[in-house]
Every structure is written in structure tokens, then in C-alpha cells.
Amino acid sequence: MIYMLKSKLYIQKTALIIILFICTFLILDYYQIKILKVVTSSMEPTIKKGSIVLIRKENIFKTGDVASYRTSQNNNVITHRITKISKLQDKYYFYFKGDSNETPDPNPISDSEIIGKYFFSIPFLGDVSNYLKGSKFLFILLSLFSGLFSGKLFKNFISS
């Protein structure tokens, strides 16, 4: 009897974990939040190398904001601080610089190249994610693990 109660509790906990992960990813998608890994120390001490940063889609930026943009040359994503904003005709251009860099980024960035505004970081979590290649992979991996774990518990529950 006690074993059956423990099995039911494990199944409930596993289901709750799966639901929490699904809800987390749905919330991130709904609010257009992207998870990025910091691979250089250009924003230290504000954002440490190896951190995970959360970027939210925004349309309004000001000087001093930290934002991420995609480079047109090699499609890399860079997260730096906006140092200057200019307007040419109906288009805004942003100038960026890493906090620990000596020089600003070489090219102005158009508003269409900006992915979003930085709002939160988790230090060193990006180093852990070197083994995982993106949030979708992590979600699939955790779902598979939870499913296998639940299946094993269910099998034990049925056979007892």
C-alpha cells in the first residue's frame, strides 16, 4: 500500500514537472522572450561570460539600454549597450559598444536588425548549456527523461 502511494506521488511529481516546463516555454513564446548564451566577456562586469540572458522583443530603445542584434555579415548575435541613436529619414540607427570593449561596434545597426532588449541574466548557466544546443533540445531531453521515468514508475505500479 505504501509503495503504491509513493508510486502515485512520483507520477504526480513527474507530471507536474512536465507541465511546468511546458508552461515555461509557452510563456517565453507568448511574451516573445529569447534565451541567449553569452560567449564573450565584452559586457563584463554587467553580464558575465557564460551567462544566459533573456531578451524581450521591444520597439522602444534609449541610450544606455542593453540590447541584442543580429549582424548582417555573419549572422552572429551580439548583446551590447546602446551608446547613440540617430534617425535618417524614417529609419533609426543604433550604435553599440560592449561595456569592457575599448572601441564601439564598427557599424550602426538598423532597428530591423535588433532582436530585443536585455532584461535578465543567469550567471554561468550558459556554460552548462554548452552540452545542450538550445532550449528546444533541453525541453525534448527533459520531456523524454520525464516520460521514461513516468513509464518505469507506471510499469512498477502495474506489476505490484
Residue 94: CB atoms within 10 Å: 22
- Helix 2-30 and helix 135-159, axial crossing angle in degrees, nearest 10: 160
pLDDT one digit per residue (tens) for the chain, 160 residues:
555 556 677 778 888 888 988 888 898 889 999 989 899 999 999 999 999 999 999 989 999 999 999 987 788 899 999 999 999 998 999 999 999 999 999 999 998 899 999 999 988 877 766 655 555 666 776 777 676 666 655 555 555 5
Give CATH superfamily name and number for 34-123. Umud Fragment, subunit A (2.10.109.10)
DSSP result, 44-72: TTTS-TT-EEEEE--S---TT-EEEEE-T
Q: Go through 6-21 and write b for each residue having 16 or more CB atoms within 10 A of its CB, e for each that does not.
A: ebeebbeebeebbeee
Ordered by start, the domain boundaries in the chain are 1-30+131-160, 34-123
What pLDDT is recorded for position 138? 65
Integer angstrom CA distances of residue 115 from 69, 87, 99: 5, 19, 19
What pLDDT is recorded for position 90? 87
What pLDDT is recorded for position 136? 63
pTM for this predicted structure: 0.71
Farthest-apart Cα atoms in the chain, separation:
75
What pLDDT is recorded for position 10? 73
What pLDDT is recorded for position 20? 87
